[in-house]
Amino acid sequence: MTPTQHIPATVCHVLREDVGLSEAIPIADRDTAIEECIAAAAWIPAGPWSGPQTDIMPDGIGLLVLQGMLIRHVRVTGRFSSELLGEGDLLRPWQGEQAGPMLRHTTDWRVLEPTRVAVLDGTAARRLAQYPELTGRLVARAVERSRSLAMNMAIVQQPRVQIRLRMLLWLLADRWGYVRPEGTILPLRLTHDVMADLVAARRPTVSSALAHLVKNELVRPCSDGWLLLGQPPWRPA
């Protein structure tokens, strides 16, 4: 079974599509590395995903998200946490899911929009291994993911949902956003349900909190997603 069963795979030049990885290679070697570092690529359709049930590459690196967005839920004794994943993230959704931990939990994944991944299996890993600089960059991605998750855990401890929500949007903008003269653009079309999962609140409460933020000109919906106005809440004005 593959992560995209019944969906044909193609070949991609990983470093051409992930510029952040290519920048780790010295300029003198970069063009050669871009041509040599190829991998299978495939699309995962929107909807529930059985990635945790798929162990396709015990000797590989994992799945590198090239495009799209997913959410991961972990449930423990009726409570849950959520993690948003997107472009640049490295996934191993099957890792550890078959183990029998002392603390029972369940995990499920949902693909929020069609998502394209590079399959960094053993063959692709050996190609990337010719360029040691890539190892450090991929490890850095894993560390950044853990730090982002820790930040999200701290955000959900805030007592007021509107504060949680504003902090979450800025946290995501730090990863995927870009600055325009009118403010910071977060180019993610997040539904109120998804935002509710990420801040551990009910959807109606999140809708009310968003309305409050818009009314106070702290955020504004836009064609790309969200426009964040002013400075991040943890930075002095």
Q: Which pLDDT tens digit goes with each residue over 85-143? A: 999 999 988 876 555 556 677 788 999 999 999 999 999 999 999 999 999 999 999 99
**Structure confidence at residue 47 (pLDDT):** 94
CA distance 54 to 56: 6
Which residue, among 145, 143, 152, has the nearest Cα to 197 in the 3D structure?
Answer: 152
**Structure confidence at residue 18 (pLDDT):** 96
Burial of 106 (0-12, 13-18, 19+ CB in 10 A): exposed
Q: Is pLDDT above 50 for 4? A: no
198 shares a domain with 120: no
Q: Is pLDDT above 60 for 187? A: yes
Q: Last residue of a domain, which of 107, 128, 155?
A: 155
Read off the CATH number of the domain in which 213 is found: 1.10.10.10
CA distance 159 to 85: 25
pLDDT > 70 fraction of the chain, expressed in percent and rounded = 89
Q: Last residue of a domain, which of 155, 188, 206?
A: 155
CA distance 160 to 201: 10
**Structure confidence at residue 93 (pLDDT):** 85
**Structure confidence at residue 106 (pLDDT):** 78
Banded model confidence at residue 2, pLDDT cuts 50, 70, 90: very low
Banded model confidence at residue 234, pLDDT cuts 50, 70, 90: confident
CA distance 7 to 46: 13
142 shares a domain with 30: yes
Q: What is the mean pLDDT of the chain?
A: 88
Place of tokens 């162990």: 55
Instruction: Count Cβ neighbours within 10 Å for each residue of 10-28 and write b for 16 or more, e otherwise.
Output: eebbbbebbeebbebbeee
- Asked if 75 and 128 count as a contact pair (C-beta separation under 8 A), the reply is no
Q: Is pLDDT above 60 for 69? A: yes
184 shares a domain with 205: yes
Residue 237 belongs to a domain: no
**Structure confidence at residue 155 (pLDDT):** 93
Which residue, among 122, 50, 63, 55, has the nearest Cα to 91 in the 3D structure?
Answer: 63
**Structure confidence at residue 211 (pLDDT):** 96
123 shares a domain with 36: yes
**Structure confidence at residue 97 (pLDDT):** 57
The mean pLDDT of 189-194, rounded to a whole number, is 93
Residue 5 belongs to a domain: no
CA distance 71 to 47: 10
The mean pLDDT of 214-224, rounded to a whole number, is 93
Residue 166 belongs to a domain: yes
Q: Is pLDDT above 50 for 1? A: no
Residue 77 belongs to a domain: yes
Domain containing 211: what range? Answer: 161-228
CA distance 205 to 190: 15
